[in-house]
Each structure stands twice: as C-alpha cells, then as structure tokens.
Amino acid sequence: MCGIVGVISLNKKTIDINCIKPMADKIAHRGPDDAGYLCFHTGTKHENKVSFFQNLTDEKFKNIDDMLPAIESISAQRELHLHDYDLYMGHRRLSILDVSYDGHQPMSDLSKNIWIAYNGEIYNFKELRAELEQLGHRFKSKTDTEVIIYAYIEWGIDCIKKFNGMFAFSLYDNFNKKFYLCRDRYGIKPIYYHITKDNTLVYASEIKSILEYKDYKSELDKEALLEYFTFQNIFTNKTLHKNINILEAGCYFEINLLSRDLKKINYWDFDFSASEKLKDEREYIEELDRLFIQAVKRQLVSDVEIGSYLSGGMDSGSITAIASKYIPCLKTFTVGFDLSSASGIELSFDERAKSEYMSYKFKTEHYEMVLKSGDMERCLSDFAHHIEEPRVGQSYPNYYAAKLASKFVKVVLSGAGGDELFAGYPWRYYKAVNNDSFDNYIDKYYGFWKRLIPNKDIKDVFSPILEDTNVWTRDIFSSIFKTPLKAQNAEDYINHSLYFEAKTFLHGLLVVEDKLSMAHSLETRVPFLDNDLVDFAQKIPVQFKLKNINNLININENDIGKLQKTNDGKMILRKAMDRHIPQDINKAVKQGFSSPDSSWFKGDSIEFVKNKLLDDKANIYKYMDKTSTQKLIKEHLNGKENRRLFIWSLLNFEEWNNIYG
C-alpha cells in the first residue's frame, strides 16, 4: 500500500521538474518507508526518438536505496535541469510485501523499458506469478508489483482483468510509447487527475499532491458542491476542487505518446441481474461460505502483521472469526462512545460489549478507544485535511479507528461491502417496490437520496450560486443506471438499487476509508470485495437476501436509531455465517457505525456548532444563503428536527474552506 504521483506532457512542452519532489512529499504519510522518482525523456517529441531517464531516491532513504542517486544531490539536480523530461512517476512506499529494497518503486522490467508506480495489493499474485514462470518469465523480487509488470508484458493491458485485489497504478511502456493510468474494479484505491491549460496530465493518489503542481489555482467546483449537498456524496467524477477529477472505478486511461491521444476505457462494471437458473437456497449458502472463507484467507498474505476491525456487527465479526483461525492472537480494534451526554435511542450506539464478547469467543488481542463529544471538534481540522473533500457519512469515528489500529499493525481487515452486496439496507429499497414504470422508480429513489436539505429549501439555501451552475441533480442520479433498463417486478427494481448503491454509496465509503487509514500509514483490506465473492453475490436472487421484499419499512437515515427496527437484510449471509459467529450477534438488528451526534450537536458540542456555523462571517456563506441555512441549523439545535447529517456536512465544508478554499 503506497501513494503514487505523476505528470505526463500531452504536448511539446517539458514538465516542471521543480514540482516532482513536493508532489510526493505531500503524501509521505501514505508511504513512510521509501521514496522513488523517475523522470523520463520518452523521445516522442523529437525526430531521433532517443529515450533516457533518471531514476532517483530521497536522501532520507539512501541507506536502503544505496545504488540510486538522491534527488536532492547537486549532480541529480544538474541532470534534471539540463534535459527535457515529458514523463514523471513518483512513489511513496508503505512496505507490506517483500519489505526489502527489491520492492522499491518505480519498478521496471530487466530491460528498463516497462515502468510502474503502484498502490495496492494483488491477492492472487502468487498464482499469476506461477503461471508467468511457466511461460518463461523470471522474477528478482517477491512482490506483486513485479508480477503486474510481467503480466502486462505477457497479456497487455487486459492483464488487469486477471487481478483480484485493489490497485491504482501508472505504467509506461517505452517499447510502444504508451502510458496507462488504472484503477481497480470497485474503486478501493483512488486516483485523481487534472489536465492543465497547456495539456499536461497531472495525477496522484490524493488531491493535495496535484495542488502542488505549478499553475494550478485552487477553486471550488460549485456544481460538485450542489451535488454533495443533494446526496451527501458526489456521484460524478467531479471533486470540490474545480477541474480535478477522480478516475472512475473499473476504468483506465490509455495515452499514445506518439499521437498524444487519450482514451478512457471502462473494463468492468457491477451486474446484479440474476442470469442463472434458480437453485436451492442451501447450494447458495454452501458456495457463499466457501467463497467467503477463501476471500478472507487470500487477504491474509503479508510480510507484516495484520489485524482486524471488530465492531458489534456480523460483517467484521465474520471476518474476524475466519482470520483468527489462521492468525493466533489476532489483534482487533473497536471504537466506542461515551454516552453520558447522549439521549434516547443513541444510548444504544456503543457496541463495545458485543465486540468484547466476540473477542473472547475468537481469542483475539483486543484494543478499544472511547470517543467523547469533544473528539470530533479536536480532529476536524486534521480530518478535513486528509479527507480533502466531504464524502458520505459522519466518518470521523473511522479516523480514530484507523489511528488506534495503526499503533499496533500495518494492515487491518474491514467489513466494507457486505451491506451493498447482500442488501443490508432494507429501508432504502422501500422506494424500489410497487412501481409501475422506471421513471416512477427513479423519482421515488431520487427523493430518498436527497439526504441533507428538504426539497422546499434547497433553492433558497443555494440561491447565491444557482446562476453560476448548470446542473440537474436528478439527471445525475438517473445517469448512474445502465441503459436500456428493464424492470418487471420488485426484485428487478431492488437489483437496480443494489447496482446504484455499489456504484455510489460504496464507492464513497471506500474513498473515505482509503484516505483516513492512509492518513495513519495503515493499509485497509476489504475481503467482501474479493472478485470471486462479488461475482457470486451479484447472482444470488434477491428473495434470498431480503426477508420480505414487498413489506419493506421506510426510514429517514437522519434518525439512525430507528434502524434497530429491522434485521431482515442480508438473510443469506446471516445463514452462511451461522457456523462462524454467535447467534445473538448474527441475528441482531442492523446497527450502523455512528456516533451520538444528534445529541452532541445540541448538547456538549452546541457551542462549537454555533461558533462555526452561526457566525455570519463563516466561509460557507460565500456559497449558501445565511438566513435559510441557519434556519435549518436552529431547527436541530432547538430539537425540532434531526439534521445531524446536514450539520456534520456544514462543519466539514466550513473546515474544507479553511484549508483548501
């Protein structure tokens, strides 16, 4: 797990050499173990087509990279400024597999013509390596990085379809003068990019590195802001930073450096349409159990210690149950909440007792952290710096969970993906049933996902910027779905909802998890997003995932405590996990990982909220109407409405403005 940065000129101009080290330094937290810089003169801008390169390290890491010049040295700087370079690849390494110097990146094949800068883990790399060795390839390291290089040499860029794992990487093929920027199927690993006015592509694992490249001027994307405050997420590939985009999951860029053509290829997508003949439920249960165990075992490959999150729920509990069979005294981590100032249903939000019970059952070495109301206030600035833009949910507890885990391990297992694959949000599919047309379904489902601001207020709240935007959020919403769409019954519509949430909500969760874990130099792995498991889960009929398709309840997610009224999601997963986790955990009602912010925002943290959001000079009022916005805030503070998601989003956006605005 690492961080990558890079620049590639799409015209006749050289790249700015002075920016390359600052770009990598900005994401040093993603890779504190090593640094590498590759500057390439590809020869594609000159008639003689001669290519050459400089491969450098950092003075800090000369003790492990003693064969490479340090980028700070006088000789390296002289060479960098003496020649033109049109391609740069930078890398910061968090050593997980083959922690020796052999894992240094950017890495090349023996001919020094195929180069890669890679962030991620390929869990089936040993099988691919054995296959490649049978085909005559030889390896000098024990890394999955080198396997990607020779897989590309053998199978071309289609090799990414063989990778079972998470990744974002850039690859340069000097033989064919082609450059690739690739992202994994599900978007577990992010990659951002910006095309400058002089047609230079700048990319990085995090936005803050792109901000370091010469003439980028930080500016808010107002259309992305409207999108976020509609869905508490950004469904398009926009970010709040204007003209900086995220490469979509399951996509890659291909750039021909001779013609300077850039193509985006979508090589994989979710497909929840059941295409196989209906089987006995027991067959699905047995195969699901086999694939789940296989997925967890695959993701235990590592040369450093692995731990696991352990909440009170079935997803992390099931992963811990399997992992603990192969890792004695597995380290597990839980974040709980001080509920002394909570009220109502939020008094049930602390799940430490359940976690401790499972830790006892699975014989793990268990660690806990208890969050108080002031912890949100204390971390908000650092949180906003690392998250780089608001995304789904009130995710600061995840920041603390990663901070806790990073004190003990370099890798942690997470239960993300279980809900999206196995229909874990029954109240969300309420809008999917009893529809007479797809347009009607879109209208109802779109209405549910307008999470933050009541319909009647949204135009008033954003009146200061509406004239500067040309965005219709319903069109954005409907564009997520594949076309043409055919829905015959409730099961078809629910499958459409599962597809939508995997593309949007899950993607947002994965981006947040990456940023918050890597802020603490921690790698997060998600066994539910194993390729074989995902392919199988998509084909399981909805009738085996939900208890009662035609009697789903309707819940407002601001009132998260009401989720305790339902436990009829993920039915087949519950049955498959019966043999692994305690019955009372497996059958428990759905409980999201959430802090008691509804109480805290109008109690212990009320002065913090008032100082941040009721200040007439707050940054948010450059873009939002003060009177309309403060009316909604006061409705929560006075106990009239529960607007915990809206208030969190405002706090996050205000802090974003302080740092990036």
pLDDT tens sequence across 219-273: 899 999 999 999 999 999 999 999 999 999 999 999 999 988 999 999 999 999 8
Residues comprising the binding site for L-glutamine?
Answer: 144
Give the pLDDT confidence of 303-321 residue by residue, as tens digits: 899 999 998 788 999 999 9
- Whether residue 491 is predicted with pLDDT greater than 90 in this model: the reply is no
Residue 390 contacts residue 652 (beta carbons within 8 Å): yes
Complete edge-to-edge strand list for the sheet that includes strand 165-173: 107-108, 114-122, 165-173, 178-183, 251-256, 261-266
pLDDT of residue 382: 96
Q: What is the pLDDT at residue 451? A: 82
The answer to whether residue 492 scores a pLDDT higher than 50 is yes
Positive or negative, the Cα torsion across 406, 359, 189, 141?
Answer: positive
Query: How far apart are alpha carbons 401 and 355 in whole angstroms?
Result: 14
Mean pLDDT of the chain: 90
What type of residue is 43? Answer: G
What average pLDDT does range 346-365 have in this prediction? 81
Q: What is the pLDDT of residues 570-629, one digit of tens each?
A: 999 999 999 998 877 766 555 554 556 666 776 678 888 899 999 999 999 999 999 999
pLDDT in tens, 396-443: 999 999 999 999 999 999 999 999 999 998 888 876 777 778 888 888
* pLDDT for 563 beyond 50: no
Long-range contacts of residues 41-47, Cβ cutoff 8 Å, at least 24 apart: 41/83, 41/84, 41/85, 41/86, 42/86, 42/87, 42/172, 42/174, 42/177, 42/257, 44/86, 44/177, 44/257, 44/258, 45/9, 45/12, 45/84, 45/86
Adjacency order of strands within the sheet including 523-525: 365-371, 331-337, 306-309, 411-413, 523-525
pLDDT, residue 347, reads 45
Q: How many whole angstroms separate alpha carbon 213 and alpha carbon 108?
A: 25
Task: Output the pLDDT for position 342.
Answer: 45
Residues 6+ apart with CB under 8 A from 426: 546, 547, 552, 553, 566, 568, 569, 590
pLDDT in tens, 162-200: 999 999 999 999 999 999 999 999 999 999 999 998 899
Pick out the residues of the known binding site for ATP: 335, 414-415
> If you average pLDDT over residues 139-155, what whole number do you get?
96
* Cβ neighbours of residue 293 closer than 8 Å, sequence gap 6 or more: 322
Residue among 481, 514, 487, 573 at smallest CA distance from 270: 481
Mean pLDDT for 482-500 is: 82
pLDDT, residue 622, reads 95
> What is the pairing mode between strands 411-413 and 523-525?
parallel
Residue 564 has a pLDDT of 47
Distance of CA 498 to the CA centre of its chain: 18
Residue 341 pLDDT > 50: no
pLDDT given for residue 575 in this prediction: 94
Peptide bond into 22 cis (omega under 30): no
**Helix 144-155 vs helix 125-134: angle between axes, to the nearest 10 degrees?**
50
Residue 19 confidence (pLDDT) above 60 = yes
State the binding site.
144, 335, 414-415
CA distance 150 to 135: 10
Residue 381 to residue 47: CA distance in whole angstroms: 51
The model carries a pTM of: 0.94
Region 359-377: mean pLDDT is 92
Measured over the CA atoms of residue 75, residue 78, residue 83 and residue 88, the dihedral's sign is positive
Identify the helix (H) or strand (E) that includes residue 601: helix 597-601
Neighbours of 196 (CB within 10 A): 20
Question: What is the predicted pLDDT for the residue at 444?
Answer: 87
With contact defined as beta carbons under 8 Å apart, do 58 and 71 qualify? yes
Per-residue pLDDT band for 62 (boundaries 50, 70, 90) equals: confident
Comparing 166-175, 227-236, 492-501, 547-556, which segment has the lowest mean pLDDT? 547-556
